[in-house]
Amino acid sequence: MIEQPLSVTDVDFVTTLHDDAMSFVVLMQPRGAEDRLLRAIDDVALGELEQAVHEADEPEGEQAVRPAALALEHSLRLLRDAGSEAVGQIVDGHPLDLLRSVVEQTHADEVIVLTAPHLVEEFFHRDWASRARHKVGVPVLKLYAHNDEDETETKDESRDEGTG
């Protein structure tokens, strides 16, 4: 599950997590109006005041679908260029229900949630990775996405393979 386009660094990282060839089902979560306040609070908490001011300028709802589709296509192309099989879809509805369904249908071994840091959501364990850990029944690995100039950090959210 991603919320922004994968960078070359992100793709390099996720495609080298395991020695075996991997295939990906990428779920792209478009921005939603309900997240605007949390994004602004996170921006302030991270010291990114300029970003907080411009949260209102970001497309949301139906207007966010086209940018999300472009981000998804870009990400799939990078994964395929790296030699992986990759398919994907835009999340329409509740992301965790779709994620659980995809895990069950594909018999996925692991879920990767690639996200920017969300301090408020993470503090209250309301971020996608924390919530997915209790819903999908496979290990959930949370990766923090950065620009290509930055390094990708990881945080293992779950080695607990139960549904919690």
Per-residue pLDDT of the chain (164 residues; tens, 9 = 90+): 998 899 999 999 999 998 888 899 999 988 664 465 555 555 555 566 565 454 555 555 666 688 889 999 999 999 999 999 999 999 987 888 999 999 999 999 999 988 876 555 555 445 677 788 888 999 998 888 765 544 434 344 444 444 34
CB 55 within 8 A of CB 39: yes
What span, in angstroms and rounded, lies between the C-alpha atoms of 42 and 57? 16
Q: Could you tell me the pTM of the whole model?
A: 0.70
- Token look-up 């300029």 returns 50
Q: Which two tokens stand for residue 96?
A: 């965790």
CB 99 within 8 A of CB 129: no
Residue 122 is which amino acid?
E
Residue 95 is which amino acid?
P
